[in-house]
Structure formats: structure tokens, C-alpha cells
Structure 1
Amino acid sequence: MTVFPTACAVVALVAATPALAQTPSQDDLAALVRQQAAEIAALKARLDRLEGAQAAAPAEAVPPVALASAPQQVITPPFAPQLVSPGPAERDIGRARDANASGVTTEWGAGLPVFRSADGVFTYKPRGRILTDVSSTFGSRYAGRNITTTGMRALRLGLEGGVGTHFFYQFESDFSENEVDIVTAFIGWRNRLGKIGDYDVRAGHLFNDRSFEGSTGSDSTPFMERTVVATAIIPQRGFYGIGIMPRVFWKSGHASLTVTGDRVDGNQANSDSRTVLGRVHWNPIKTDRGVLHLGAWGFDEALASSATALTRNTVIGGRFNGALRVSTGALTGGTGTTGYGVEVGGYVGPLWLMGEAGRREARLDGGRPDFVSTAWSVSGGWFLTGDLPPYNPRLGSFGQPRVLKSIFDGGPGAIELTARYEDLDYTNLLTGGRGWAATVGANWYLNSFIRFQFNVAHWNTDNRAGAYTGPDDGQTVGTRIAVTF
């Protein structure tokens, strides 16, 4: 109905003014546009009346299939100018339609999406963790230790991805100390080993594969801080180093070998220290409801001439109380270290138990005897809600739990009770101290990537150097809110 009058108007206008067929004036075009606008307004009013009548009719009178399949007609009068450009919503819909047409898929996992190309060759996923802690210490005979503090145990952002079935990469930065700190950053290659299993090789800034909790990420430890085995029997460079790590996996375990220099730094004026580290774990028993875990590891470290200080101040009752440490006292003149340890544990149903022990020998210059430090721990947990412990049989460490009934699905989440005893001995050194801690805790996992933690530790220290010497004990209460994605 709209097109016919408009066509008649055009014919009449051309017939009345032959010259117009060649060069229509601005007034003629404006009159034509006004006429078309009036016709569109009349048509819109008629459509509004028809839609009002349909809305007032009984529901069964409107066939839903017909409405869903009826195409929408867009009427564009000739010569009509584009008066309104697409808005943000229309542009977003267009981009989504283009992405869908390209075959890109999105899968929602632990809090963030995983993007895959249509052919499955390219994958990409954002990563991150937010661990917020509050701790309060009391009962010490030193007022300087009885403090309440807050801190970010981890504040990370990163990404991971892959190309094809073999190439993969990962990068993460941490901002927990209000500074940018590069943590995991590597590229890797993986493939099958026939019927044996598979392997991967990673190169870059690598996280240590050392001890059970030392190989567990800070967002997956059952307590707010790792055991003293993980924090004290460790290379001088810490948990990270730049190098290469091949790993081999089979049905009941894995083995890794790591060769690294220092961690990421800005010092290129001196040689790096060199660290060689290996670990193997084996699950001689592995069922759907239980695992027996056995593990062993060791490292050897040759220190650079610029890294001879071996002083240690190790966490014993809480990470965010700098006055509460077990100390070696000042120790310089180190030439290298050698450390090793064992792991024994496992789980049956919702109950888990893990024991670790380690020894570190620091070589000193000038013919002095080695400095030997030892540490051991026993820890366990029980999931009251019947969930299985988050044991990762591929890596021999803890990971993120699989919560049976998330609170977001109307369930209670996963509730775990934990307990641990740990002991650290630096007394082989004249200035070295000793300490132990007994910790009980509770973890409430809202779902697989959100949790609350609560720890109460009774600690005892006997330092021979520093501001807080002699026997001392007290309690530290800590809480954490953690989100991992």
C-alpha cells in the first residue's frame, strides 16, 4: 500500500515536469520525503491498532508457531535518508552474530569462560586468584608479636591457551605486595608416549615441582600457609626459576626434572645460580574412592658469587606477622645447597592424611662444616559433606575441589575440618632457632572456586638471634576469603 502511492507520485511529478526527470530540485525532493513520512506514520498507526487487537484476543487465538516463524518486514522508502544510526545494542548484537557465524565457542568453567575456535585449534582462557587474609596473634611474651594484620596472599591475573593439541602457554602476574611480580610464565609442548602415557616440556619462569604442598598452588593448600617442609627445605632462589622442565606421566604417577637459573630479576651483571631439581610420585593404589600416595624429591644448587647469603626467617604461625618467624640468624658465605625429602599419604572417601619430611644441607666457604636444617609435618582433613579430597593423581598435589552440592545450586557447599602438626629445626647452626606449630582449621567451599578458610595455630619458637630470642609461644587466628578462576 505504501509503495503504490509513492510510485504514482513519482510518475505524476515526472510527467508534470519533464526537466525534473533529469535534475529534481531540493523543494521537490523535500515534498516527496514529507509525503512518504506521512504514509509511514499512517501505516504505523494501523499496525499499532492491529497489535493492540491481537494482545486483547485470547491466548489460544494467536498461534505461537506462526508468530515465531513470521519474518519481520523492513520497509525502506526510496530516496528516504538514513535518519538514525545503529545504537550500541544493535552493534553488540551484530558482533555476536558475526562471532557465532565464525564458529567460536565459549565454555564457562571455574568462574571465567574458555574460548575455542571453530576448528578447535586455538584455545584461550583468562586466569586469576584473589586471596585476602586477616590474622591476629596473641599470647606471646613479646608485645611486638601480638599484632593484627591484613594482607593479600595472592592477587593474580593471567592467561593460558594453546594452539593445536601440542603447543600451550601460560602467563601470570601477582600484585599482592602492591608491586608487579612475574610468577608463572612459560611455553610448552606435549605429546603421547605410545602406550606408556604422555609427556610435556615447559620452558620459561617455572613453579617448583618439589614436595607435596610445595607443588600445590597457594589457592589450593588446605591450610592458609604451606608446611615448613615446603617453606624451609627449598632452593635459595625460592619457588620459581627460569629454565626448562620436562615431565613424564603414566597411569599411576609422574616424574619431572627441572634445570633453572634465578627467578625473574633485573640483574644481568653476574652469573645466575644453577638449580637441578627432580621429583617423582607414585599411586600404587588408586580407586574411585581412595588413593595411596608415595613421593620423593631432591635438588642441588650451585650459588652464584652474588648470592652467598643463606639467612632464613621462616613462617611458623602465620604469613602476615613479620615478627613471628623461626630464624637462622645472619648466615653468609654459602657456596651451594642440597635438599631432599619424602611424601607419604593418601585418602579414603572424605578422609585424607599426608606426612612430609625434608633435609637441607648448605655448603659454606672457608672450610666450615655444612649447615643442616630439617623439617617434618603431618596433616589431615575430613569432608563433613562427603566430598572427596581435591587430590590430583596426575601431579601428586592438591587442586581445586569438585563440590558435590554448590550453594549456588541450593546445597551446603563442601565443609572440611583440618589439623596439622609441623616442626622446623635450624639448631645445627649456633645462631639457629627451632619452632613447631599445631594448627586446626575449617574450610567452606561454596563451589569449586570460592572458599572461606579459618585457622587457629598454637606455635612455639626458640630463636637464638634477632629481636625475639628464647622460648616463646602463643596463638594466631587467621581467616581467608579466596576466589580462583
Structure 2
Amino acid sequence: MKRLLCAGASVSALLLATPALAKNQQGDQAEILALLRAQASEIAALRARLEAVENKAPAAAPVMAASTPSAAPQRVAPASTVGHDSETVSFAPQIIPPSPAEQTVAQARAAAMNPSGVTTEWRGGLPIFHSADGKYTFKMRGRIINHVSSTFGSKYDARNITTTGARALRIGIEGAIGTHFFYQFENDFADNVSDVGTMFVGWRNDVGQISYDVRFGNMFNDRSFEGSSGSDAPPFLERNVVATSIIPQRGFYGIALMPRIFWKSGHASITLSGDNVDASQAVSDSRTVLARAHWNPLKTDRSMVHLGLWGFDEKLANGPGALTRNTVIGGRFNSLLRVSTGTLTGGTGTTGYGAEVGGYAGPLWVMGEAGERHARLSGGRDDLLTKAWSVSGGWFLTGDLPPYNPRLGTFAQPRVLRPVFDGGPGAIELLTRYENLDFSGVPTAGKGSAVTAGVNWYLDSVIRMQFNLIHWNTENRAGAFTGKDSGETVSGGIGVTF
């Protein structure tokens, strides 16, 4: 624009000078006209450049408008695609993005970017709410899992029964304040009993390429592969015997302090816990120290190798110290079908440990785990020794990848490629498992094993139907069903996780 004004001034000066030139140079008008033509050409060129610049301005206007209060909210890409967990998209596109309480700092920061007014995004069946300033995130969560089970073939008629039950009836909340603070709470109403499940507050941060979080509250154990997977995650209707028998006496939950660290190919955690949130306050809590780590030495966008180690030591509180165990072997909802230790009291503590190895390649997966538990008895008696192992595998006929979470080293909620509600077949999975459980060290210790064949149909990432056929064997030395026994259990279930 400045050059254009200078050019105009030059033309004016020339026009004023024309009479003098004509008078002094007598007929030199041809030279003057040539100069005028050159100046006119330069003016035209400058005008064309100015118009070109002005024509670009409207294209930039929407960018400016997006930052005004009246503009529609603009959301960035899902949080799982950025930050340290960029590998979640590259290496685990088969699971749903993490919820507010499981995000990394980078994911939480990305979710809060570019908010304009209260924003809502739908993920995993329920909306996630973000405040206008991006500081607060909130989500309801829930789980409905119902089973039906029928047992036949036992030599004891009392065991041949058909039952129904709710594996989980949960409702809860979770959220975050800023990028670092998060919380979660769930209550379970299964078996017509109100029971506090997960309940914690936590803090997360990054240090270079390492991320970490620290949580405190009533938390689910990080112990074994299937034992660390929520009730809606394992592919079978019930977890394997490693998860259900190589376990602290207090069970799956406990009020605990749990720091965790995460790196690109694995994670590690350590837990210091007392009793669960509903335990008695009349005596001191038991004390449990538990640690687990997993590593993915091979990780591509369609394959994974999983290795894991874990262990715990538990000191039981003063009191009766009951160590009696009745472990599921042929389905959860036949309480008469168990592998039993017989009645044991006078326990002082337990120590357990185990290993995990498995992985997947495309739609095929395999997982094996084994563990051992020593339950210490008072009065100089021998320990109750528990040994358990399991091998399982599956194949997705529809080509979906197994729902493996590389961040936590567990099964997870799947992201179905072609949901039924979008006109697709959903995800169909065939699976099988062998598991073996052996109690020993006391006269009343029993043992058992089971072979399971099953099929899962994931209608979408929220709803799934499951069918298991189990052939089981038990050999109990105490209770109403002693000696060798075998039979079959058919179980079916439908689960909704949101």
C-alpha cells in the first residue's frame, strides 16, 4: 500500500512538470508519454497484488470466529491419540479410549483443549461432560451382567441344578479436576446386597517419557492377568482359578495406597492395603503388600507379546484368622460346585506369587498364567499350599483384534469394528480354556480341573452375549460332596458396560 501511494505521488509530480518540460524541451512529449505508461503499468501491478491479499482474508475468518463466545464448540481429536499414549491408537485400536480416571496427563490435557461452553462427548455408552473452561470432567459409569447356569452329570443330584444370578449390578461416577487430580466411585447391588466397590482419589503426572499416578481408596487388586481385569473384561463368564485362588484372604479389594508407573512397553505397581471398606473396625486391619509388573517386549499394530510377574505378602489381623476357601470350578452360580479346603482357622498370614505369558497375532490370542500361595497356620501346623495354572486362547472370526490393554496388561472393553447397530456382524469370538487347582498341606484339601469351550458375541463396544460349556472334575475331602465327581455346566450371560 505504501508503494502504491508513492507511485501515485510520482505520477502527480510528472503531471505538474509537464508544461515546463514541454516549454524547455520543445516536443519531447513522446518521452514523457513513455514514462507515464511505465508508471501506469506499475500501478496496475501493485493493485493486482493488493486485491490478491484482500481476497485471502475471508478464508481466515472462520478461524478467528471459532475463538469467539458465539462460535460452536471445537473439540480436538480423542485424548487417546496424543501424548505418551499415542501408542494406544497405534498398538491398541481394539479397545475403547480410556475414561477420565484412567487417562494420562497428556490425554487429560488434550481433552480440555479448545472448549467453548459446556461440551459433551459420547464414549462407551454414556456422555462425558467437560466444563466451559476445560477444568472439570465428569462421567457416570455402570455395569449390568446377568447369568444363567445349568449343571448336569454329577453323581450327586443336589449338584445338578439350574440357577440365575447377577454377576454385577453397578452404578458409579468418575471424573477429573484439571489434568492431574481424578476420582472414581462405584457401588454394586449384586445378590441384593449393597456393597462399595471401587472408591478412590488420585494424582497423576509425567516425568520425561515416564508417567505415573498415585491412588488412595478402596481399590481392585493389581494381581495376575485375569485377576487385574474387571468383571466385564475377561472373555469367559468367570475368571480362571489363578485369579480366584492365588489371592489375599481379604479378597479382590482393600483400602490401599497404590502408586503406579507406566512406560511405553509396560507398567509396574505396588500396593499397601488394609481390609476392604466394609470390614470390621473392632480389630486392627490385616496388612497386605502387593506388587505387579508387566512388559511387552514385542508390540506392533497387530501383534503383542505379554510377560508379567506379581506377588503379595499378607499378615492377618489378630483374631480367628479363618483360611477356609471354596473356589469356583464349574461356574459361579452353583454354590455347591466348588473345590474346598475344608474348614481352617488359626491363620497368621499368606504369601502368593505368579507369572503370566501370552500375546496375540491378529485375531488369535493365547494366555497362560500360574501361581502358588502359602497360607501360614498357627500352632506349628504345615502351610496350606495352593497351586493353580491356566491356559486359554481365542479367535475372532470377524477379524477383530483381541481387546488387550497394553497400558495395564489386562483384558479390556473392546472397540468393535462393525457393530450390529450399524448393520455389521459385531465381533464373534471362539475360545477355550484349561485350568487346574490343587490344595494341599492339610488333610481336608481338595483339587479340581475344568475344560471350557465358549463363544462371545460383542454386538458393539457396550453389549455382549456369552456362552460357556464347562466339563469339570472335583475331588473334595470335606463337605457334602466328597470323592471324585465330574459333570458339565452350561452357562450363558449378557453384559452391558457403560
Specify the alignment match of 2:411 in structure 1.
Answer: 398
Q: 1:179 aligned to 173, 187, 193, which one?
A: 193
Following the alignment from structure 1 to structure 2, what is the Cα–Cα distance between the partners of residues 269 and 482? 38
Q: 1:434 aligned to 447, 454, 460, which one?
A: 447
Specify the alignment match of 2:353 in structure 1.
Answer: 340
- Contact persistence 1:273–1:307 (CA under 8 A): no
Q: Which runs of 4+ in 1 moved over 2 A?
A: none
Q: 2:171 aligned to 154, 157, 171, which one?
A: 157
Specify the alignment match of 1:353 in structure 2.
Answer: 366
Q: How does 1:45-194 map to 2 (within 5 A)?
A: 103-194=117-208
Counterpart amino acid of 2:137?
A: T
Counterpart amino acid of 1:466?
A: G
1:307 shift after superposition: 5.1
- Helix, strand or coil for the counterpart of 2:440? coil
Q: 1:219 aligned to 222, 228, 232, which one?
A: 232
1:266 shift after superposition: 5.1
Following the alignment from structure 1 to structure 2, what is the Cα–Cα distance between the partners of residues 383 and 359? 32
- Contact persistence 2:201–2:215 (CA under 8 A): yes
Deviation sequence 1:178-225 (CA, Å, 0-9, x none): 011000000000000113x20000000010000000000000110000
1:407 aligns with 2:420: yes
TM-score normalised by structure 2 residue count: 0.76
Specify the alignment match of 2:457 in structure 1.
Answer: 444
Q: Which moved more, 1:282-291 or 1:368-377?
A: 368-377
Q: 1:299 aligned to 297, 305, 312, which one?
A: 312
Following the alignment from structure 2 to structure 1, what is the Cα–Cα distance between the partners of residues 319 and 338? 25
Following the alignment from structure 2 to structure 1, what is the Cα–Cα distance between the partners of residues 484 and 381? 28
Q: Percent identity?
A: 71
1:420 aligns with 2:433: yes
- Contact persistence 2:457–2:465 (CA under 8 A): yes
Change (3 A) 1:134 1:227: same
Following the alignment from structure 1 to structure 2, what is the Cα–Cα distance between the partners of residues 451 and 362? 38
Following the alignment from structure 1 to structure 2, what is the Cα–Cα distance between the partners of residues 116 and 306? 48
Gaps in structure 2 of 5+ consecutive residues: 1-114
Following the alignment from structure 1 to structure 2, what is the Cα–Cα distance between the partners of residues 146 and 235? 31
Following the alignment from structure 2 to structure 1, what is the Cα–Cα distance between the partners of residues 409 and 360? 12
Change (3 A) 1:277 1:266: closer
Deviation sequence 1:128-176 (CA, Å, 0-9, x none): 0000000000000000100000000000000000000000000000000
Change (3 A) 1:427 1:266: closer
Following the alignment from structure 1 to structure 2, what is the Cα–Cα distance between the partners of residues 369 and 258? 28
Gaps in structure 1 of 5+ consecutive residues: 1-100
1:118 shift after superposition: 1.6
- Contact persistence 1:450–1:482 (CA under 8 A): yes
TM-score normalised by structure 1 residue count: 0.78
1:102 shift after superposition: 7.6
Specify the alignment match of 2:79 in structure 1.
Answer: none
Following the alignment from structure 2 to structure 1, what is the Cα–Cα distance between the partners of residues 426 and 167? 23
Counterpart amino acid of 2:403?
A: P
- Contact persistence 1:277–1:298 (CA under 8 A): yes
Specify the alignment match of 2:494 in structure 1.
Answer: 481
Q: CA RMSD, aligned part only?
A: 1.0
